[in-house]
Structure 1
Amino acid sequence: MPLQIINLTKKFGEQTALDNINISIDKNEIIGLLGPNGAGKSTLMKSIVGALKIDQGEIIFNGMNISENEIESKKKIGFLPENNPLYLEMYVKEYLQFVANIHKISPARVDEVIELVGITPEKSKKIGQLSKGYKQRVGLAQAIIHQPDLLILDEPTNGLDPNQIIEIRNVVKEIGQQKTVLLSTHIMQEVEALCSRVILIHKGNILQDCPIDEFKGRFNSLEEAFASYTAVS
């Protein structure tokens, strides 16, 4: 199993953000991570990439405990956070070259990834001059430039227009054929278009972890299923 999350608990003061979470993720899956705002999705993603310290439990990635092998683990994980932090004063190609240098990878990979995410016409512009759609593509490029085994995307199409959404989805779908992708989103069409499996988290607990058809089950739509599972009883 490339990723195993075992009895993971994370607290912020008195509040339990993740409560004894257990997940196993195999290779070449695109998994939809769903949940209402404040459910614990971002906390889970940040714990996996090592941006948050784990209180209890462990995360095993490619056979290594990520808390004990932080640098080695991060070399094989790509992360696009929801706020997509970019250096706006840098030029697109310059920024991606900078990321490539950090990972000690060939400059040829920079051109390859620029082509893959469809930003060739924009590569000589400053990042601050780009539309939101192109900024998202730059963020996606930095997340995949080192060809990670696991790609974690937090709301990757948030705020994009319909054409941009389709383009980003196509890139993610292509990546998912060779890599494991964990995708957090509120857009159910995205889940339906991309994911084979759904993990639903609510109030720090996993309510569902199953194939997408099973999640939908008796409901007419994923939205209906989501509303029912997360309804206040």
Structure 2
Amino acid sequence: MIEVQNLTRHYKDLCAVDNISMTIRKGEILGLLGPNGAGKTTTLRMLTGYLSPNSGTIKINDFHLPKDAIKIKSLIGYLPESAPLYHNMLVYDYLEYVARIKGIDDKEKRYDRFLQLSDLCGLSSIMAQPIANLSKGLKQRVGLAHAMMTDPQILILDEPTSGLDPNQIAEIRNIIKTIGKEKTIIFSTHILSEAEATCDRIAIINKGKVVADDTTANLKLSVKQNSFIKLSLKGASKDDATSLLKSIHPNLNVKNVEPVEEDLVSFKITSPDDRDFRSDIYLKIKETNWIIIQLTKKSQALEKIFQELTQEKTGEDV
């Protein structure tokens, strides 16, 4: 559906996007992941036709930018990081205004579309409220309804959960998943858990270059030692517990970490071959009078990949 070849964009002496190529399939949710300043926003703006590349090509549904810019823009819904809302308008009036600009002239069609978007984005209780009075999470929902107004085939979202609290993030994530059942979605983020929970595929971009592009599962498989065991004990001293754990296997790496409660001791346990030692740990601790509060295996693959590929952080995204 979307084919990008050798895309490059300069801001004077700064190369914000450096020779990027990728293919985004129909119905795919692609997460564009990277630190601030990596070039995510510039890439999305070029895909929408808002910015022109210095070199390279963008092809969407057999249309080419910039030649077919109007046709391509009719296929895309775009939500920038700061949703461009008119804060002095009521939500309903704003959506009415957007619908008319988008060419939905028939009153019944506008009303039907408002009902659909209200249900999808959870706007029914705020339609009569001024946008200025809404929380950032609700403003993002209104912005998403704006982007979805003409039922576009492609949805491009720039940091859609930036600045939201955990509940609001979960709500926007669920909306994206629902929309993604029918549409192609590209969204940028620097939150690893967000990308992992929402995307079919992740492209990591750093210093304007794509440094990784694959499914979450395949990215995890590419990293060794990608998990650790989190153990919390009650009734044990730090030194005694450390000695017992190290006696299980000579290659076991046992690191004491800050416990979640004062009367506990907690450890992060890894092994060179990424072997799961939970059964061995359980049986060994069973011989003592200590109580296991937590014994879980956690993945750190994406964090490790991200750190290895984007070690040098920059300032604001460009």
Is the structural similarity TM-score above 0.5?
yes
Report 1:51-130 matches (<5 A): 51-105=50-104, 106-107=109-110, 108-130=112-134
Give SS of 2:51's match: coil
Give the conservation status (yes or no) of the 8 Å contact 2:36–2:190: no
Shift of 1:208: 0.6
- CA distances 1:86-105 after superposition (whole Å, capped 9, x unpaired): 11111101111111112223
Give SS of 1:121's match: coil
Distance 2:57 2:75 in 1: 17
Partner amino acid, structure 2, of 1:93 = Y
2:224 maps to 1:144: no
- CA distances 1:143-200 after superposition (whole Å, capped 9, x unpaired): 1121111111111111112211111111100000110111111211111111111101
Residue matched to 2:8: 9
Partner amino acid, structure 1, of 2:17 = L
Shift of 1:66: 2.3
2:226 maps to 1:226: no
Distance 1:13 1:161 in 2: 37
Distance 2:20 2:305 in 1: 21
Distance 1:175 1:216 in 2: 26
Structure 1: tracts of 5 or more residues without a match: none
Partner amino acid, structure 2, of 1:134 = L
Give SS of 1:97's match: helix
Give SS of 1:37's match: coil
Residue matched to 2:233: none
Give SS of 1:206's match: strand
Distance 1:93 1:199 in 2: 36
Give SS of 1:122's match: coil
- CA distances 1:91-137 after superposition (whole Å, capped 9, x unpaired): 10111111111222321212210121001100011111111111010
Structure 2: tracts of 5 or more residues without a match: 228-299, 313-318
What is the TM-score with the length of structure 2 in the denominator? 0.71
Residue matched to 2:167: 163
Residue matched to 2:191: 187
Partner amino acid, structure 2, of 1:13 = K
- CA distances 1:30-66 after superposition (whole Å, capped 9, x unpaired): 1110111111100000001111122111111111002
Distance 1:58 1:90 in 2: 39
2:42 maps to 1:38: no
- Alignment: residue pair count: 231
In angstroms, what is the RMSD of aligned CA positions? 1.1
Identity %: 45
Shift of 1:224: 2.0
Partner amino acid, structure 2, of 1:99 = V
Partner amino acid, structure 2, of 1:61 = I
Give the conservation status (yes or no) of the 8 Å contact 2:48–2:78: yes
Give the conservation status (yes or no) of the 8 Å contact 1:34–1:198: yes
Shift of 1:230: 1.5
Select the structure of larger CA radius of gyration: 2
Shift of 1:20: 1.1
Give SS of 2:81's match: coil
Shift of 1:78: 0.8
